[in-house]
Structure 1
Amino acid sequence: MKLPIIDIIVIIAYMLGVVLFGCSFYFRKRSADDYTVGGGRLPSWAVGMSIFATFVSSISFLGLPGNAYMSNWNGFVFSMSIPFASLIAIKFFVPLYRKINSVSAYYYLETRFGPWARVYASICYLLTQLARMGAIMYLLALPMNALFGWSIPVIIIVTGICVLLYSMMGGIEAVIWTDAIQGIILIAGALACLGVLIYAMPGGATEMVAIASEHNKFSLGSFGSSVSAPTFWVILVYGLFINLQNYGIDQNYVQRYMSAKSEKEAIASTWLGSLLYVPVSLLFFMIGTALFAYYQTQPQLLPEALKAEGMADKIFPYFIVNGLPAGVTGLLIASIFAAGMSTVSTSINSSATVILTDYYKRFFNKRATGKQSMKVLYITSLIMGIISIVVSLAMMQVKSALDAWWALSSIFSGGMLGLFLLGVVSYKVQSNHALVGVLAGIVAIAWASLSPKLFTDGLWLQFQSPLHANLAIVVGTATIFIVGFIVAILAGGKKQTEQERKERELKMK
């Protein structure tokens, strides 16, 4: 399928503009502190927009409309949990990170449980980011390949190099400011798409709502008590835990808390970034529902191949190319790239920061000079970017990249969140107690997420988890917390005093 010249110009102008703008920050950096937290001088609105853009990936941009088209608004329950998770984060985690004044999200774990906890959590984070970057770039390439015949490896490599260039050269300032721009572009693109859909609907918005209501498209899912189906409650609990992990302990977000000018501005940026996602995700669900109504009234506009089961995710990309005016199509494709690039650039910068603070400066060179630190940041950004491209290319061999990403993120995320909560809630839990909890939690997460795929017949069938896959993080987090706490009680755990915590911090320095 051939794009009009104006759409090609819009896409090329967007890609070049973002890369050049991001790279321009190379000439403004003066230290590793500038590279990792922007010197702590970035305005709250830009930090908030960056948090929002990081949260919205190309998976969200393409997946949510497809989900709404295929079923209903059950997935929106995930977004409804965000305000609750954000409230917990700004009450406990944001003040904690600002108080300890460390750019690393995992520094705190060492003050509580020792070096192993910091290494464990940071390794989980790095592996998760590699899987995340790989999945996002691969899933970004799929619709472009299906629509235009563009080579998947070429799309992955070009996108990866573009993101790597500006995130490596410009540091966190480039990431945050480009994220802010990309966030505005993707919102504008989504609004333009919904506007065109409603305008093109024979009966307008009234007809769209009537058709959607008739087919129960606005349903938030079953309110039953089943734990094996994606009910309202299962998605709400899953969303609460995964969003608490995102806004509470994820390096991508913690780094932004530290880049704000003050604790007050860090809190404001967290509210902006998290609460903005709720109406925007609603916008994506509206697009999916509008697409359903649009093609219900005009079925002749949809090819027979896309009417088959399992093709819902391709409906939105098809409409972008065939149902939008020239120029707007380019804007929407740029929006899809914006959603993916903003997430990947954040992961590259934050991963390099973790390697510098949690490994190089902690174990190899505690008195690293500014020049040495910058060299490590450049090299590790480059390495993480290249590996993410390789992982993305490897995803071409996986049956379902999205399923692979969900399985990996469930295992790593659950362990990290449980350990953090154990450290924050109870100071009686010591290092060995936490280690027992983590080991038990990893086993529980592996059982909840992998047993349905491994134990499929015979005697093994009885060992299958009866829980929905989304509850793996809930099971893991609860297991780590409960087991660690019980072991501490049985062992007569002694509460860690503030003095002991400070002494440990001094030893680390």
Structure 2
Amino acid sequence: MQTIDWIVLIGTLLFIVLYGSWKTRGSKNVQEYIRGGNEAKWWTVGLSVMATQASAITFLSTPGQAFHSGMGFVQFYFGLPIAMVVICMIFIPLYHKLNVYTAYEYLESRFDLKTRSLTAILFLIQRGLAAGITIFAPAIILSAVLGWDLTTLNVIIGVLVIIYTVSGGTKAVSVTQKQQMAIIFTGMLIAFFLIVSYLPEGVTFSKALDIAGASGKMEVLDFSFNFDNRYTFWSGIIGGSFLALSYFGTDQSQVQRYLSGKSIKESQLGLLFNGLLKVPMQFFILLVGVMVFVFYQFNPSPLNFNENSVNKLLNSEYSNEYKEIVEKNNILFSQKKGIAQELAKTGDVGLKTKLTSMDSLEKSYRLRTQYLIKRVIDSTYSKNYDQLALEVKNLEKEPLSEEYKIKQKELLALYKKSAKDKETNDKDYIFITFILNNLPRGLIGLLLAVILSAAMSSTASELNALASTTAIDLYKRNVKEDKDDKHYVNASKFFTLVWGILAILVACFANLFDNLIQLVNIIGSIFYGNVLGIFLLAFFVKFVRSNATFVAAIITQIIVIIGWYYDWMPYLWLNLFGCVLVMVIAMIIQPFISLDSHTDLGISE
């Protein structure tokens, strides 16, 4: 990085922190600190909701996901617009009618204190972990590619967020997120147009899409019901809808964003704005990753983008084997480059078939490189690997044969099962490596500012929500003495600081898991379905009371965790599974549990 990059990066981050702190200084009461004085317009609500979800993980991992797997990941977001409409119709009017500070306040009026507290605690667990990951994600990548100390980066990101979040509360989060989203959109647009401009002369954007399509990167829709396929149209529409309903409807980090709206209408318009823009935004970010893939069809790329892992491999007993793979891949690259250039000129269908064949072979090289890294850092590996890898190697001359496809699929399954280590995965390093190696001076600083701004925006929302839930749902509700507003504002600031420190600690001890964007969604899926089910029971199933709901929620959470651990189903389906399970259990056991003294049915009033 050059001096201009440091100036752009540091100047951008300092502006956000100082502006947010100055603009929102002096919150005097809980209503101002937690709900931002209910002054937010719909565009502020919409951008704040979007910025809360779009963490640094989105801009680091999503392009890498597209580089390896193509555009299919966008199906994950197909259920989001549906969820936005449901939340606008049901959740927002109810929350505004009850004038709540947190989503979980309603559960006490409908059920009782223990159900409210249990749901709040489930939120605190999963969101507390997620807050640490949103700090850890950019820190570990920047640490690896820039050589910075990981712990120092975790602390820097965490402290910057804590400063303005403690100072201004919800309003500070909303105000800064508008600037952060402006920086993010600007940076990603510039990156996209630069990548396209870097393609060889004659390779237009449409021809680049043809090249990507020949390698299977433009397969957006998968209508199969195969559970082996993690992202399908159905998992996105069904599982994604339940995940989005849970996240946007019951997660305080999002609920707090639209509770700050000036009116019900402003909150609803903000969420609808998010629903309309989110899928195109994710499509565009994935498309950036696909364009990076096309760029590397004409420019050499490493077999693994995690440089630290490759260096360990080169210094190991497997160095010669890796060098042999690299030599083969270099020959393959020369052939692929020529075919890609010819395809761009002629559009010959036969060339597409050849490119598909070569892409399959390159995947094999990348796969073997990842497994060699696994063997370097972990001596325990499957004894079947060597034999299977040899069979794949012997079939490399026939990459389109059914036998080759079957063997390679078996090898991939074996790798996925045994090699989920942070140092074998390189999806999260692809985009940042491209930025550092190819963008001009000044823009590198801007794109790094994009990544850190995204980390700060989502982390600020999470800390703000964690503090509000702790202060309102646990602390205030269990303190018997009457306290004034100033006391609870100070308590919220204290809890923001505490959760900020805990998030930094989680970040310092976290491990990379397969792909960061998947990790955050997996954590959410383990808890969100259960929480959504509790809310749906409260809204619609009037005969179910608090004790049945409380017992069902505990049983469901245990079963979902066991199901995730033993990999019963893709994580997206855990949202539907958990939601249905808690509702069914509660309805079954309700007749066998004595009626609660609490009879308020809430929504019917």
TM-score of the superposition, structure 1-length normalised?
0.90
Residues 118 and 358, structure 1, Cα contact 8 Å, conserved in 2: yes
Q: CA deviation at 1:406?
A: 4.8
Q: CA deviation at 1:492?
A: 9.9
Structure 1 residue aligned with 2:587: 485
1:208 aligns with 2:208: yes
Cα distance in 2 between the residues matched to 1:388 and 1:486: 39
Residues 25 and 169, structure 1, Cα contact 8 Å, conserved in 2: no
Structure 2 residue aligned with 1:469: 571
Q: CA deviation at 1:175?
A: 0.5
Question: 1:400/1:328 Cα in 2 relative to 1: closer, same or farther (>3 Å)?
Answer: closer
Cα distance in 2 between the residues matched to 1:343 and 1:46: 15
Structure 1 residue aligned with 2:20: 22
Residue identity matched to 1:61: F
Question: 1:403/1:48 Cα in 2 relative to 1: closer, same or farther (>3 Å)?
Answer: closer
Cα distance in 2 between the residues matched to 1:399 and 1:257: 32
SS at match of 1:38: helix
Structure 2 residue aligned with 1:459: none
Q: Within 5 Å, which residues of 2 pair with 1:316-335?
A: 316-335=431-450
SS at match of 2:510: helix
Structure 1 residue aligned with 2:264: 263
Task: Identify the match of residue 315 of structure 1 among 430, 433, 454.
Answer: 430
Residues 57 and 340, structure 1, Cα contact 8 Å, conserved in 2: yes
Structure 1 residue aligned with 2:226: 226
Residues 23 and 166, structure 1, Cα contact 8 Å, conserved in 2: yes
Residues 427 and 495, structure 1, Cα contact 8 Å, conserved in 2: no
Cα distance in 2 between the residues matched to 1:391 and 1:497: 41
Cα distance in 2 between the residues matched to 1:436 and 1:325: 58
1:444 aligns with 2:559: yes
Residues 63 and 288, structure 2, Cα contact 8 Å, conserved in 1: yes
Cα distance per residue 1:58-92 (max 9 Å; x no partner): 11111111111101222101122110011111111
Question: 1:77/1:439 Cα in 2 relative to 1: closer, same or farther (>3 Å)?
Answer: same
Cα distance in 1 between the residues matched to 2:453 and 2:463: 15
Residue identity matched to 2:6: I
SS at match of 2:566: helix
Structure 1 residue aligned with 2:31: 33
Question: 1:72/1:473 Cα in 2 relative to 1: closer, same or farther (>3 Å)?
Answer: same
Cα distance in 1 between the residues matched to 2:45 and 2:517: 28
Residues 533 and 580, structure 2, Cα contact 8 Å, conserved in 1: yes
Cα distance in 1 between the residues matched to 2:117 and 2:254: 19
Q: CA deviation at 1:297?
A: 2.2
Task: Identify the match of residue 467 of structure 2 among 352, 358, 383.
Answer: 352
1:138 aligns with 2:136: yes
Residues 427 and 496, structure 1, Cα contact 8 Å, conserved in 2: no
Cα distance per residue 1:357-406 (max 9 Å; x no partner): 11222110463202211220111111111111011111159898777655
Q: CA deviation at 1:494?
A: 10
Cα distance in 2 between the residues matched to 1:403 and 1:285: 14
Residues 66 and 315, structure 1, Cα contact 8 Å, conserved in 2: yes
Structure 2 residue aligned with 1:161: 159
Q: Within 5 Å, which residues of 2 pair with 1:91-102?
A: 91-102=89-100
Question: 1:305/1:264 Cα in 2 relative to 1: closer, same or farther (>3 Å)?
Answer: closer
Question: 1:283/1:408 Cα in 2 relative to 1: closer, same or farther (>3 Å)?
Answer: closer
Question: 1:249/1:273 Cα in 2 relative to 1: closer, same or farther (>3 Å)?
Answer: same
Cα distance in 1 between the residues matched to 2:268 and 2:561: 34
Cα distance in 2 between the residues matched to 1:68 and 1:264: 36
Identity of aligned residues (%): 29
Residues 38 and 259, structure 1, Cα contact 8 Å, conserved in 2: yes
Cα distance in 2 between the residues matched to 1:495 and 1:380: 33
Task: Identify the match of residue 50 of structure 1 among 30, 48, 51.
Answer: 48
Query: Greater shift after overlay, 483-492 or 383-392?
Result: 483-492
Structure 1 residue aligned with 2:318: none
Cα distance per residue 1:5-40 (max 9 Å; x no partner): 111100000111111111114534222211111111
Query: What's the Cα RMSD here?
Result: 2.4
Structure 1 residue aligned with 2:337: none
Contiguous gaps of at least 5 residues in structure 2:
306-364, 368-424
Cα distance per residue 1:226-282 (max 9 Å; x no partner): 234313322332211111111111111221222111101110111123322222111
Residue identity matched to 1:9: I
Structure 2 residue aligned with 1:180: 178
Structure 2 residue aligned with 1:70: 68
TM-score of the superposition, structure 2-length normalised?
0.76
Contiguous gaps of at least 5 residues in structure 1:
453-464
Cα distance per residue 1:85-134 (max 9 Å; x no partner): 11111111011101110111101111111011110111111111210111
Cα distance in 1 between the residues matched to 2:516 and 2:447: 23
Structure 2 residue aligned with 1:411: 526
Cα distance in 1 between the residues matched to 2:244 and 2:521: 14
SS at match of 1:326: coil
SS at match of 1:27: coil
Question: 1:493/1:189 Cα in 2 relative to 1: closer, same or farther (>3 Å)?
Answer: same
Structure 2 residue aligned with 1:116: 114
Residues 64 and 429, structure 2, Cα contact 8 Å, conserved in 1: yes
Residue identity matched to 1:286: L
Residues 61 and 516, structure 2, Cα contact 8 Å, conserved in 1: no
Residue identity matched to 2:72: N
Residues 247 and 253, structure 1, Cα contact 8 Å, conserved in 2: yes
Q: CA deviation at 1:491?
A: 6.5
1:373 aligns with 2:488: yes
Question: 1:102/1:366 Cα in 2 relative to 1: closer, same or farther (>3 Å)?
Answer: farther
Residues 130 and 523, structure 2, Cα contact 8 Å, conserved in 1: no
Question: 1:475/1:96 Cα in 2 relative to 1: closer, same or farther (>3 Å)?
Answer: same
Cα distance in 2 between the residues matched to 1:502 and 1:396: 43
Q: CA deviation at 1:488?
A: 3.3
Residues 428 and 516, structure 2, Cα contact 8 Å, conserved in 1: no
